[in-house]
Amino acid sequence: MSVTDTDGGGDVVAGACPPLWLGVDVGGTNIKWGLVDDGGRVLLRDHLPTYADQPPSLAIHRVVAAIDARLATRNWRRSDVQGIGLATPGTMDIPSGMILEPPNLPGWRHFPVRDALADASGLPVAFANDANAAAFGEHWAGSGGKLDSLLLLTLGTGVGGGVLVHGRTLDGTHSYGGECGHIIIDPDPNARMCGCGRTGHLEAYASATALVKRCEEALASGRSSSLGRTTLDPAGLSALAIGQAAAAGDGLARELVLDTALYLGIGLASLIHVLDPAIVLLGGAMDFGGESSPLGREFLEKIRREVGLRVFPDLAGKTTIRFASLGGDAGFIGAAGIARAASLGGSGLPHVRQG
């Protein structure tokens, strides 16, 4: 499924397949949104700053105003849209449409975000966890290839997890379903501390934050590396810089990147045994260049190899592992897809509030 970038003003109206859906993906820095047709193709995309310390009601009204303004440039109106999918980070209560205590949205605590958007837009709104929405997006329009049993890990500041089982997002009983970054890969009492405050979690080993921390520790212990000089500038050491050093042949950087693949392979072995997905996708900014780079391919191959060492051989052989393809668009595309699926009447899909 191709995604058409119309930010440059290209006109894709003739190719659009109605009905149309909106997806809104709220993050700590930006709110991304897009207009998506019934085949999962992006017709419009845009983003605006979240201003996470400000009241969320202001952000909701800014989003609706921005949507109206962009739709008008294509001679569309809000009434041409069938529904909205809204994705936010947790913590959240999906059935009641509440965002609870999101770490990156300090001004949004205990806010009825789904109903606020329905009231402001006059449209039905389906509500989803952002990582599960991204998984749905990859399933619908990305490298998930329409497979309806899918696991997505997003590698960035943290390790996000999105899960689809039989075409539905795994929301769980308490809206914590799919928190794959917080499975335990190290039971030692002195295991690494995770961003969530618990120890031994996958995120504490395999996120970009963890990669930088492991690199800092190695440099502090006297390991030699071209990255050593960046310790003079704390801002210079990043997952990107480590990846670049690894791609240039730095031994320590390569070791750290491949250790990340090892940890992911260990974590995925447990997740694959529990979920038995048709496909595992790796998304997020930390892909070391992805399929187009030798390091990215080596990273992926190492993950596959480590999974192969730990998963039932028959199951490992049947489980595809590859990079995701939608990048930062996956969340809003998936949110739009969830709104569409809810409209089609799938029972058990995220609760919808009519506008």
- Which residues, 81 to 140, sit near Zn ion by CB under 5 A? none
For the bound state, the minimum distance from the C-beta of residue 217 to Zn ion, rounded and expressed in Å, comes to 19
Candidates 45, 139, 201, 304: give the one binding Zn ion (CB under 5 A).
201
- Give the binding range for Zn ion (CB under 5 A) out of 128-136, 175-183, 232-240, 315-323: 175-183
Instruction: Tell me if 31 contacts Zn ion by CB under 5 A.
Output: no
For the bound state, the minimum distance from the C-beta of residue 179 to Zn ion, rounded and expressed in Å, comes to 8
Rg (CA), the chain: 21
Which of 41/182 has CB closer to Zn ion? 182
In this chain, which residue has its C-beta nearest to Zn ion?
194
For the bound state, the minimum distance from the C-beta of residue 319 to Zn ion, rounded and expressed in Å, comes to 24
Q: Which residue has the tokens 């996958």?
A: 202
Question: What one-letter code names the amino acid at 38?
Answer: D
Start-to-end CA span in the chain (Å)? 30
- Give the binding range for Zn ion (CB under 5 A) out of 170-178, 198-206, 215-223, 331-339: 198-206
Which of 210/278 has CB closer to Zn ion? 210
- C-alpha 13/C-alpha 9 separation (Å) is 11
Which of 194/210 has CB closer to Zn ion? 194
The answer to whether 102 and 108 have CB atoms below 8 angstroms apart is yes
For the bound state, the minimum distance from the C-beta of residue 239 to Zn ion, rounded and expressed in Å, comes to 18
Which of 56/89 has CB closer to Zn ion? 89
Which of 147/191 has CB closer to Zn ion? 191
- Give the binding range for Zn ion (CB under 5 A) out of 16-24, 81-89, 132-140, 193-201: 193-201
- The neighbour count for residue 216, using CB atoms within 10 Å, is 15
Candidates 60, 64, 194, 341: give the one binding Zn ion (CB under 5 A).
194
Give Cβ neighbours of residue 236 (< 8 Å, ≥ 6 apart). Answer: 229, 230
For the bound state, the minimum distance from the C-beta of residue 271 to Zn ion, rounded and expressed in Å, comes to 14
Which of 213/322 has CB closer to Zn ion? 213
Instruction: Tell me if 183 contacts Zn ion by CB under 5 A.
Output: no
- Give the binding range for Zn ion (CB under 5 A) out of 30-38, 77-85, 181-189, 316-324: 181-189
For the bound state, the minimum distance from the C-beta of residue 198 to Zn ion, rounded and expressed in Å, comes to 5
Q: Parallel, antiparallel, or unpaired for β 20-26 and 30-36?
A: antiparallel
For the bound state, the minimum distance from the C-beta of residue 191 to Zn ion, rounded and expressed in Å, comes to 11
For the bound state, the minimum distance from the C-beta of residue 335 to Zn ion, rounded and expressed in Å, comes to 24
Q: Please give the torsion angle defined by the CA atoms of residues 96, 133, 137 and 354, in that order, rounded to the nearest 10 degrees.
A: 20
Instruction: Tell me if 196 contacts Zn ion by CB under 5 A.
Output: yes
The answer to whether 335 and 85 have CB atoms below 8 angstroms apart is yes
Give Cβ neighbours of residue 313 (< 8 Å, ≥ 6 apart). Answer: none
Candidates 32, 41, 182, 254: give the one binding Zn ion (CB under 5 A).
182
For the bound state, the minimum distance from the C-beta of residue 193 to Zn ion, rounded and expressed in Å, comes to 9
Which of 36/159 has CB closer to Zn ion? 159
Binding site for Zn ion (CB under 5 A): 182, 194, 196, 201
